[in-house]
Every structure is written in C-alpha cells, then in structure tokens.
C-alpha cells in the first residue's frame, strides 16, 4: 500500500530577469525556469516520489511576480505525518537561498484542488516611468523593474477614456500574441478592472530633482491570453503619448485580429509583475498549517 499524499498550495515570488519564465525548461538549457529551481529545492524534503509544481499563472522571460502560486503533492514515507505548511516554507526557502525566489506561504488543500483551475482571478501590475529621454536614464535600482516610454509625460485622462473600451467581456484576439496555444484557447475574456495611478520609485524622494514620475497600470481578470497584459499596456501608453486616439482601442478590439495590433507598441517584459492570484477561502485550509 502506497503512503498517503498531501497536497499543498504554495505562494511564491521571484525576480524574473534571470529566468526563461516561470515554467520549467529542459535541464540542459543555459537558462532555466523558476519551476526548475522550485522542484530542485523540493527534492530536499525527501519525498517518496519526485515533487512537481503545477503553476497557476505563466509568466515570460523578464516578467516578475510579487505573488504567483502552485500546488504540489508531497508523499512521505509510511508512518510519517504530513508536513505543516511552515516546514514547506522554511525548507524550500533554505534551499532556494542563492536564487531570487522566495516561498511566501503554504497551505494544505484538498486532493481535487488545482492551482490553475481553482483560481478566481489574477491581477497584474505594469510599472512605468516618465521623464527619461533614454532608457539608460532609468535609475539603477529600477532597471529591469519598469519601462521608460519616450516622452516627458502621458495624457492620463485619454488613457482612462480608452480603458472604458477594454472593461467587460470581449473577444481579445487583437490583444494576444500568436502562440501554439491559440487554436485551443478561447479569446473571450472578462476584464474586471483596470486602474491607472501615480506611484513611486525605489527611494525616489532622494532624486525628486530629476522630475521622474512613476505610474502603475493594474489589470484584473480571471485569466489572460498570451501577452495580453503587455499588449494592453502598450496600447494604453500609445494613447497617452498621442500616437493612438482613445477610440482606436475600441476599433482594435472589434477587429479581433492579432495582425491589426500596431507594430512596436507592445510593452516590454521589464515592468510587468504578477501581483496576486485569488482563491475561494473555503478551498484553502488555513488553520494551523500556513506560514508567512
């Protein structure tokens, strides 16, 4: 008889610049995914069978996560009780120390829980800075963490006007990049929220004299298409720069054609953060097994 298996939901964050993305790659590749390092660290739990992470939300090369999530099954030797969530957190973080990856918390969940399909929503934040005449002028502590589009300012009211066309349920074909998954994924998504707000840079009060202004664009939906957030962010910035009129966002949406998306408009990976993945509290056992 096989020892019982315990399923956990783990929340984790990472600095995405040095990885091929969050998903695993072949181990002989020069650049690995975050998942490769998570699974390598998990083998130090000495499971009966190798541990695999089922990641909820894919991120590309250079994209960061304030909080991503994954479920994993841990099978211990016969007679050994399940690990508490605190042990999962501390053990994995110990073996992840050389990497800019951290486990935030871990919870026991039911065997039918799935990190990807049980998620209620995902929220992404895109960070911008205006006032840089060239990307080399981005403060050193902000490099790879924000985008500096051309121009000294953005027409935020025009961007907010354009947001109205994106909110709600639409066919977002124009706002997805071509990928092998296209034939199998519906382009219809419901965008629940888009916020555009001023923000701050790291210790930016020490260089206020430079006149830099940081911005955050926040997008919330149950799920997103491949590169949808970067394409929406880039189009909104183009509106803010005056390169696109606000009404063009609606026209692009209605064209339902990825080829209709303007060239050289998609926002770069640096600046995009997966902020959070939300679940029904009833799906997550929190008593006595979570650790922050």
Residue pair 234/244 in contact by the 8 Å Cβ criterion: no
Among residues 60, 73, 171, 283, the one annotated as catalytic is: 60
The tokens for 151 are 């121009």
Residue pair 173/258 in contact by the 8 Å Cβ criterion: yes
124 is in an annotated binding site: yes
The tokens for 44 are 């130090």
Catalytic residue status for 60: yes
Of 276, 279, 274, the closest CA to residue 59 belongs to 274
Residue pair 112/93 in contact by the 8 Å Cβ criterion: no
The Cα–Cα gap between 155 and 135 comes to 20
Cα pseudo-dihedral 251, 252, 254, 258, rounded to 10: 160
Q: Please, what is the angle between helix 85-95 and helix 34-42, to 10°?
A: 110
- Residues annotated as binding site for substrate? 124
Q: Which residues are catalytic?
A: 60
Which residue numbers belong to the known binding site?
124
């Amino acid at each position: 008889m096989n020892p019982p298996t315990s399923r956990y939901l783990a929340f984790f964050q990472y600095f995405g610049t040095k990885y091929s993305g969050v998903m695993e790659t072949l181990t002989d590749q020069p650049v690995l995914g975050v998942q490769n390092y998570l699974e390598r660290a998990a083998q130090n739990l000495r499971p009966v069978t190798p541990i695999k992470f089922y990641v909820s939300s894919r991120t590309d090369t250079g994209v960061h996560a304030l909080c991503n999530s994954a479920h994993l099954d841990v099978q211990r030797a016969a007679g050994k009780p399940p690990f508490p969530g605190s042990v999962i957190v501390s053990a994995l973080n110990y073996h992840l120390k050389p990497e800019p990856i951290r486990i935030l918390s871990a919870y026991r969940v039911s065997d039918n829980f799935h990190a990807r399909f049980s998620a209620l929503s995902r929220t992404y934040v895109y960070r911008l800075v205006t006032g840089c005449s060239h990307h080399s002028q981005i403060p050193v502590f902000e490099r790879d963490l924000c985008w500096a589009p051309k121009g000294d300012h953005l027409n935020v009211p025009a961007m907010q006007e354009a947001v109205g066309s994106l909110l709600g349920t639409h066919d977002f074909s124009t706002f997805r990049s071509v990928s092998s998954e296209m034939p199998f994924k519906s382009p219809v998504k419901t965008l629940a929220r888009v916020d555009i707000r001023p923000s701050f840079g790291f210790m930016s009060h020490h260089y206020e004299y430079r006149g830099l202004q940081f911005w955050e664009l926040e997008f919330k939906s149950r799920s997103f298409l491949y590169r949808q957030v970067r394409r929406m962010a880039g189009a909104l910035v183009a509106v803010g720069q005056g390169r696109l009129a606000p009404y063009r966002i609606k026209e692009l949406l209605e064209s339902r054609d990825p080829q209709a998306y303007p060239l050289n408009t998609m926002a770069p990976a640096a600046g995009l953060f997966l902020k959070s993945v939300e679940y029904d509290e009833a799906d997550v056992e929190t008593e006595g097994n979570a650790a922050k």
